[in-house]
Chain A
């Protein structure tokens, strides 16, 4: 945003999240063989696990859509390539999270969980929304989704002869917390930035040559002509009001102030 769009990224994150490097995009590419995870067992998994799996898959799918749709609208070749690069990672995320869902769930069961997820997400937005006008929108949408949920519960009973209580939580879990998770993110990043994937398992980076050689080969090919994310972020460190405040510009020498 700063270098390509001329704006401060904190105008979006508004102090809630750090603007700092995570796992570099260049090391995120991995071979398809290392991209699936073990799915949950739909007969044993906690309902919240299912709600999380659907929620994160939907989020990643939306993010992938965003990069694929907006990227080609830039004239700047660097911005176009950056969006394409990130989109390829988002596609991995969609596949990874989608693979967490149990394929033994019937289509009606999956539909039921999707409706429950929509109720849960709108309910969470309602819980944390402070703008009264927007809060009313979340309430209305939560109502709509409750209607959909009850319709699918009815179908589930009629066509599968199963009790929806078998798959739905007895009560709605605590809402998703829409607040700063700075410490959690920092700790997770610190503990997990060097994790990689081998088959369905997470491994440490030093084990990758032995256990995930295909991912290394895949990554080398993907990055063989450079990486737009490395180029755009070269030497970048966020500072309030953009890096121009620190005179980090091609014009730094000439500027007097």
Chain B
């Protein structure tokens, strides 16, 4: 579907230089007014401090499974952190699958662009996101957790990802704009898998550590691909 060009002709009016005369009046008006209340930006921090100091947690974990050889405290704490971060990765990979479904939809509609990803390349990444989701689902179950739990980390990851989903599902966003948003997801995802490997290693989960290392190899490839496609498309547009 081609743009009618109507919006392009109107142009971007957000900047102050859209109308220099009105801008002058705007600045004059702002300068003539005194602040409606005294103080400064530090007042906001002070206000938030009262709430932070109350110490409410963002989310909680359900009762932990107790393994036979668990030596109370330390093992339980480690397990709780591991399950929280596994839940976070699970939520992220689930969202990642939906993000790449949206990207596939966009690419199918707009057609493959050169430079840019092919449909097959998008399907490849999407399939691996789904595989990672299923793998995490299985591992959480195997170590005695509940993969349907929204762990505190999963909750935060969900909130943090909202903007990325907004960009991908916006019918107006271009392929490079979608890839820019996916860069945020892939960079976070890579760091997330690295941390999971450290955690699994520290807690002695050698089998799952190996699976995580394989996932990280996939994710490194995703990041590199997204970075390359984005860079190629942006430089191409700039005719460089």
Contact A244 B104 (CB under 8 A): no
Contact B126 A244 (CB under 8 A): no
Known interface pairs A6-B95, A257-B135. Does A241 touch B123 (Cβ–Cβ under 8 Å)? Answer: no
Partner-binding segment picked from A94-102, A143-151, A223-231, A245-253: A245-253
Residue A165 is within 8 A (CB to CB) of chain B in the complex: no
Interface residues of B in 118-176 (CB under 8 A from A): 123-124, 126-131, 133-135, 137-138, 147-148, 150, 158, 161, 165-167, 169-171, 173
Interface centre among B91, B97, B98, B161 (most CB of A within 10 A): B98
Report the minimum CB–CB distance from A12 to chain B (whole Å).
Answer: 10
Report the minimum CB–CB distance from B180 to chain A (whole Å).
Answer: 15
Interface centre among A5, A74, A249, A253 (most CB of B within 10 A): A249
Contact A254 B126 (CB under 8 A): yes
A contact residues around B101 at 8 Å (CB): 249-251
B contact residues around A253 at 8 Å (CB): 127
Known interface pairs A6-B98, A249-B126. Does A257 touch B148 (Cβ–Cβ under 8 Å)? Answer: no
Contact A254 B124 (CB under 8 A): yes
A contact residues around B134 at 8 Å (CB): 244-245, 247, 255, 257
Report the minimum CB–CB distance from B151 to chain A (whole Å).
Answer: 11
Residue A217 is within 8 A (CB to CB) of chain B in the complex: no
**A15, closest chain B residue (CB):** B148
A contact residues around B131 at 8 Å (CB): 255-257
Residue A170 is within 8 A (CB to CB) of chain B in the complex: no
Interface residues of B in 77-120 (CB under 8 A from A): 91, 94-95, 97-101, 104-105
Contact A244 B170 (CB under 8 A): no
**B166, closest chain A residue (CB):** A75
Residue A242 is within 8 A (CB to CB) of chain B in the complex: yes
Contact B97 A249 (CB under 8 A): yes
Interface size on A, residues (CB 8 A): 29
B contact residues around A4 at 8 Å (CB): 169
Contact A240 B148 (CB under 8 A): yes
Known interface pairs A3-B98, A247-B134. Does A8 touch B169 (Cβ–Cβ under 8 Å)? Answer: no
**B173, closest chain A residue (CB):** A75
Contact A241 B97 (CB under 8 A): no
Contact A251 B169 (CB under 8 A): no
Interface residues of A in 70-85 (CB under 8 A from B): 74-79
Known interface pairs A251-B101, A252-B130, A255-B130. Does A245 touch B137 (Cβ–Cβ under 8 Å)? Answer: yes
Report the minimum CB–CB distance from A235 to chain B (whole Å).
Answer: 15
Expressed in whole angstroms, the Cα–Cα distance for A125 and B137 within the complex equals 36
Residue A27 is within 8 A (CB to CB) of chain B in the complex: no
Residue A7 is within 8 A (CB to CB) of chain B in the complex: yes
Residue A161 is within 8 A (CB to CB) of chain B in the complex: no
B contact residues around A77 at 8 Å (CB): 171
A contact residues around B97 at 8 Å (CB): 6, 244, 249, 251
B contact residues around A244 at 8 Å (CB): 94, 97, 130, 133-134
Between A and B, 28 residue pairs with Cβ closer than 8 Å are A3-B98, A6-B95, A6-B99, A6-B165, A7-B91, A7-B158, A8-B148, A74-B166, A75-B167, A76-B166, A76-B170, A77-B171, A240-B148, A244-B94, A245-B137, A247-B134, A249-B97, A249-B101, A249-B130, A250-B105, A251-B97, A251-B100, A251-B101, A254-B123, A254-B126, A254-B130, A255-B127, A255-B128
Contacts beyond the supplied A76-B170, A250-B101, A257-B138: 14 A-B pairs with Cβ under 8 Å: A3-B98, A6-B95, A7-B150, A7-B158, A75-B169, A75-B173, A78-B169, A241-B137, A244-B97, A247-B134, A252-B130, A255-B130, A256-B127, A257-B134
